[in-house]
Amino acid sequence: MTLEILTADCLAPLRHGFFTRRGGASSGIFAGLNCGLGSSDQAEIVQINRARVADAMAVPPEALITVHQVHSAEVAVIDGPAPGRLTADAMVTDRPGLALAVLTADCQPVLFADAQASVIGAAHAGWRGALDGVLDATLDTMERLGANRSDIRAAIGPTISQAAYEVGPEFLDDFMAEDPDNHRFFANGNEGRYQFDLPAYGLHRLRSAGIGHAEWTRHCTYSDAGRFYSYRRATHAAEADYGRLLSAIRL
């Protein structure tokens, strides 16, 4: 099966893609294009999957850059291939030939580009990272490399939708403490719980930070098991582990 790669018009003409699980070598609960070295999938199979992504991005495997993601607001500046094990949740570069990639399984993968300034970025933005400012920090770092905030375009890829994202009242409290207007990203759920709109919150943070354009591809990871991995869906199904989707952009 060939790879399925979702793209966003706003990031053209730069090569980029939100890769679905289709077209990979993994099997069982990881069936498809599992790119997560942190999963319990066979490491050699994951490397085959990542090599397929690198080929689709037209870079050698060592130029497909990922970081150790910890739900932080840390941004790494990448200036060459194989930078070693970096801990961060976003990356930016102005170097041609490097593909910046993030791994997700419900969290937001966000790809950034200022095509005029030749600066790109990629961020992993779950609720914690988004609340702590990882998207804002990515824009700040892109500007330090010469990007113009009003020229930056960003696309949020497949992520968990509001209908599938049930949270407790303490979760709402964290967001209300940051900004009382954040209540608009929550809908009433069952038995005193709420439904949180993660992509709407991500778009809000990007637009409030002054980005030129931001959009969501409107794909829900939880509701489409044939195309996407989902941590929450795997948890509800009592599966032992889950695959990781990869999203990448390059100059």
Note the pLDDT tens digit of each residue in 136-153: 999 999 999 999 999 999
Q: In whole angstroms, how far apart are CA 120 and each of 30, 101, 140, 224, 245?
A: 30, 11, 12, 29, 20
Mean pLDDT of 85-104: 97
Position 170 scores a pLDDT of 95
Q: How confident is the model at residue 134 (pLDDT cuts 50, 70, 90)?
A: very high
Position 162 scores a pLDDT of 98
Tell me, which fold does domain 5-161+197-250 have in CATH?
CNF1/YfiH-like putative cysteine hydrolases (3.60.140)
CA atoms of 133 and 201, how far apart (whole Å): 11
Q: What residue spans define the domains of the chain?
A: 5-161+197-250
CA atoms of 230 and 30, how far apart (whole Å): 11
Give the predicted TM-score (pTM) of the model: 0.97
pLDDT for residue 1 is more than 80: no
Percent above pLDDT 70 for the chain:
100
Compute the chain's Rg from CA coordinates: 17
Mean pLDDT of 108-124: 98
User: pLDDT tens digits, residue range 193-250?
Assistant: 999 999 999 999 999 999 999 999 999 999 999 999 999 999 999 999 999 999 999 9
Asked if 14 and 115 count as a contact pair (C-beta separation under 8 A), the reply is yes
Position 82 scores a pLDDT of 79
Position 46 scores a pLDDT of 98
Position 84 scores a pLDDT of 80
